[in-house]
Amino acid sequence: MADAGVTGVVAKLGELAAAEATALLRVDAEIRALRRKLAYLQALVRGADRQRRGRASELLLLWLRETREVAFEVEDAVDEFHLRVEAFHLRRRRASWWGWGWYRDAVCLVQGLVTQIFVRHGLSNQVSKINERIDELNQNKETYQIESSPSEIWSSSSVEADPDWYEDKYVMGSRQDEFETLKNRIMNKDGNISHRAVISILGERGIGKTTLAKKLYNDPDIMKHFEVHAWVCLPPHIRFRDYVEIMYMQVSSQIPEAPGDDEFTDKELKLSQNLHNRTYLVVLDGLISNSDWNSLVDVLPDTNGSRILLTTHLNMKEISHIDPQIAPMELPYLDMKHGEQLFCQRVFGAKEPPQIYWSKGYYEKVHNISTGLPLAIAVLAGVLRSKVIPMEWDDVFEQLESNGQPKPVRSIWSLAFDDLPHYLKSCFLYFASVSENVILYPDRLVRLWIAEGFVVPKKAETLEDVGFDYLKELVSRGLVQVMEKDAGGCIKLVSIHNLLHAFMESEAQDSSFLEIHHHANVANPNAVRRLAIQNYVDAYVYIPDAFPKLRSLLCDFAEDQRSSSSFGELQPQSLWGNLAELCSRACSISENVGSNTLHGLHFLQGSRFLRVIDLNGLKMQKLPDEIGSIVHLRYLGIRNSNLEELPSSMYKLDNLQTLDVRRTNVGRTVDEFWEIEALRHVLAEKMLLPNCSVPLNNLMTLSGVVPSDLWDEKKCPLNNMIYLRSLSLSGISARHTTALSAALRKMEFLAYLNLSGEVLPSNMFTTTSMRRLQVLILYGKLEGINDLLGDRYVLPNLTILHLNKLELSQQFVDKLALLPCLAEMELSVVSFSETTMFFHDGFPSLTKMKLKEVSTIQELVIGKGAMPMLSILAMYDCDSLNTLKVLNGSEHLQEVAIYKMPGIIDNIKLEDEKLFDKIKRLTTPMMVTDRGVVPGHFVRRAGIPHEQHITVASESCFSSMEDAGPGAAKAADDIQVIV
């Protein structure tokens, strides 16, 4: 796939040709000539890329490989040029701090002239040689008669990501019979299952097993039937204790800690205790081996009435021993009727297909090629959706039917990839940098695309907006799956299917786009440009000493639970050696590997072209000071580690766009860091935010920071960050409120706001600058809230509202009722001025509401005109509340979750039987004592179903929302294993 490489280089040359720095020594003219040649070459490469799918000649493959190497040489030359120019600018900036006056200026002028002459002369020589190589490539093509026609450009219509197109509604149609059969088995409607049943869904990859399991798992009747629920995905490269950890985290969120429990108790034992004598539903998605099954089932207690739902592509014979009493359900391919329904829904949405679609019998061709495999139908529909009917449809079918492959369904992945616009190919291949069966927060993914240079700027749009448009187009083409949406309907979590992931891994490796390693050695470190290390197994990953061409380092490590003494104490004199030792430990090197076999990460010192460093799970305390010399660096992520400080050289990273040090101990960085004008996203835990004098007009996300004591209305760093989209600030006190209030009045683009402290400003409810705000989370007392009760609240786009530790009045609640788009509201640990909380009317869009530890109220009344769309109501530990009246008919109300409030349940049963039926099933928690497990003394409800159940938390109905703002405004985003 040489296309992506050439495309990126052409874009870089465009940037360089437009720069004023190329005016000397005719470098500008040579670069423009080189760009023209590469553009013509790019058209040939795209056509050759398509040809290589068939029976391509060795000469064509050789020509493609040499073309890609030339493109890489161009990239190296341009990056080397920029590196030297950046080094000069850094020296000049440091000299300006020394205050030499006219002497300093004279020295800088001489140095600048020398730099221009030598640097541009070197670039000119390199460009001339590359131009000669391109001429040689073209000559070889003619000499050896290498056939490569330019790629044909198919017209493409605007592709919109309509939510209806990625809901996988075909399950309720084509799989309706299977759905009803499995639902009856899970709920034992026939009454013939008297044991903990294991229900298996079989079928090959792409047949729809996981989609069907999700529909069952999220079914309201099934959710009410079980006390505990957990969804565990089974990636192939993960340790057993991680499976247990995933399952324990979900189960423990639904069951309170029993007295005597502590964090050192074995997770397997605690999991077994939590599930003992409880009915549970556990979904194990993606079982690939019997050994995994034998290990996991041993942890789950044999509780009568419980169910384990398996999805696997193992065959009937391989899993027949799992539960001989329950026959597995093997999913067939879709028949013509249901396959066509899925295809039409993906292509036309709710519209009626045109007459020509029926007259030409297009779906018969689709069915013959896809063989009725749902994933293949969806991906092929994604290709045809953007084509003009019928001419280009005919071309697509002709290409698929003439490829000569014995299984034409495999050619659909290649066609879908080749059909992508050039700007999407690199973005799509980037999914190969994470392991299969993982989900991604799109915010982080888009930031990485931007740092890599994949996102092309558009007028009047931020790079983040353009990146999200890219993602939506991949979704609309069926190549990326939406795993979860936020309250506003925006994409919150995404993933890709394993079949497509395998195709991408192969494509990325073959094209030298990305080197992917789990437990294999890096064969040729001198040629690696992007390196992804995915460590989920106990294997040794050899880290060479040099990666001179490396642009991106993406490492995702399973955190090692062994003691650091396995490798002895760290030696302070070699920071690079320490990092190597920690990286090797995170890569799960066998404990018998001696320290003499460890490899220092000296390649970071020699990898001058690095743009992206993203390390997740490394146990490290300090970054080396040499990090400041990697001046190309745009993305630095060190997450889930015990990193304690950032080096003072951070201020040198003039191109840094994203700093992500969440779930670390980093408390501050040098003040000069806040003068990096390229900064777009800073994400931390509790990092001190000092005063800064430079306008940071590119900064969009500021998360996990605390204010300094020196803030006032005139000296507030937020005054220089007025274009923020997302702000998460804690540690606020009375001395900060005036300055913060003034800053908020300037932030007209803010979409996500999370404030925490003793006293908070309250003007975000009334100031017109908050019109774009979609998520508002407040922890602390609001200053002057009573003064605002007479004003109109100006939050027309607010979707999610969390109020914590506030003093509320009925008048304030009535004001909130007027917000037109509010969909989710949580009132937690708040005091109320009256004994009855009455929702008279309003809240037209509210679907989820949670009350947690709301003191003083004894009665909760939802009036006839209030909350017409309410579907989930959760009440947690409201001690005085004993009466609930729902007067609006509760047509949309699906479930009521009540925790630690047994008295109100009896009252509801007496007064409103219909409402009582919506209450989640009662759970009797267990309490650990010296004599074992005995029944507890309180009752609670099972967990509230969270869409896709990434986290299932009854005690926090919307627990994941604190870090989940809409789109680019969300603060928390990283890779997680699907659970």
Task: Give the mean pLDDT of 945-956.
Answer: 28
Taking every pair of Cα atoms in the chain, the longest distance, rounded to a whole number of angstroms, is: 94
- Residue 565 pLDDT class (50, 70, 90 cuts): very low
Instruction: Report pLDDT digits (tens) over 841-895.
Output: 999 999 999 999 998 899 999 999 999 999 989 888 888 999 999 988 777 888 8
Strands (E), 388-504: 438-439, 481-485, 491-495
Instruction: Report pLDDT digits (tens) over 720-741.
Output: 999 999 999 999 999 999 999 9
Residues whose CB falls within 8 Å of the CB of residue 511, separated by 6 or more in sequence, listed in order:
1, 2, 4, 5, 68, 429
> Are 357 and 381 contacting, i.e. CB atoms less than 8 angstroms apart?
no
HEC secondary structure over 19-43: CHHHCHHHHHHHHHHHHHHHHHHHH
DSSP 746-813: T-TT--EEEEEEEEE--GGGT-GGGTT--EEEEEEEETTGGGGTTSPP--TT--EEEEES-EE-HHHH
SS3 292: helix
Peptide bond into 525 cis (omega under 30): no
Q: Token match 């990501």: residue?
A: 161
**What does the pLDDT read at residue 81?**
76
Instruction: Report pLDDT digits (tens) over 633-657.
Output: 999 999 888 788 899 999 999 999 9
- Residue 19 pLDDT class (50, 70, 90 cuts): low
852-872 burial: b if 16+ Cβ within 10 Å, else e: bbbebbeebebbeebbbebbb
Task: Give the mean pLDDT of 262-280.
Answer: 80
Q: Token match 């010192």: residue?
A: 605
**What does the pLDDT read at residue 696?**
95
Task: Give the mean pLDDT of 222-239.
Answer: 81
The token pair at 474 is 């991949």
Instruction: Report pLDDT digits (tens) over 236-259.
Output: 666 777 778 888 888 887 776 555
> Are 977 and 438 contacting, i.e. CB atoms less than 8 angstroms apart?
yes
- Residue 104 pLDDT class (50, 70, 90 cuts): low
- Beta-bridge mates of residue 682: 659, 702
239-254 burial: b if 16+ Cβ within 10 Å, else e: eeeebbbbbbbbbbbb
301 has a pLDDT exceeding 70:
yes
Distance CA 40, CA 62 (A): 19
**What does the pLDDT read at residue 31?**
73
Instruction: Report pLDDT digits (tens) over 478-492.
Output: 999 888 888 777 888
Helices (H) and strands (E) in the chain, counts: 28, 34
Phi-psi region at 100: left, alpha or beta (left = phi > 0; alpha = psi -120 to 50): alpha
Ranking 143-147, 441-445, 537-541 by mean pLDDT, the lowest is 537-541
965 has a pLDDT exceeding 60:
no
- Residue 56 pLDDT class (50, 70, 90 cuts): low
**What does the pLDDT read at residue 593?**
36
DSSP letter at 152? P
765 has a pLDDT exceeding 80:
yes
> Are 498 and 205 contacting, i.e. CB atoms less than 8 angstroms apart?
yes
11 has a pLDDT exceeding 50:
yes
Distance CA 537, CA 517 (A): 11
- Please count the residues of the chain: 979
Which of 163, 214, 213, 206 minimizes the C-alpha distance to 475? 163
**What does the pLDDT read at residue 537?**
52
Ranking 14-28, 573-587, 747-761, 771-785 by mean pLDDT, the lowest is 573-587
- Residue 628 pLDDT class (50, 70, 90 cuts): confident
pTM: predicted TM-score of the whole model, two decimal places:
0.83
Distance CA 366, CA 371 (A): 8
CA-based angle 563:567:569, to the nearest 5?
85
Instruction: Report pLDDT digits (tens) over 920-935.
Output: 754 443 333 232 322 2
- Residue 159 pLDDT class (50, 70, 90 cuts): low
16 has a pLDDT exceeding 60:
no
954 has a pLDDT exceeding 80:
no
408 has a pLDDT exceeding 80:
no
Distance CA 27, CA 128 (A): 10
Instruction: Report pLDDT digits (tens) over 169-224.
Output: 544 567 888 999 999 999 998 888 889 999 999 999 999 998 899 899 988 889 88
Higher pLDDT residue, 198 or 603? 198
**What does the pLDDT read at residue 727?**
97
832 has a pLDDT exceeding 70:
yes
Distance CA 164, CA 787 (A): 44
Instruction: Report pLDDT digits (tens) over 653-671.
Output: 999 999 999 989 999 999 9
Percent of the chain with pLDDT over 90: 34
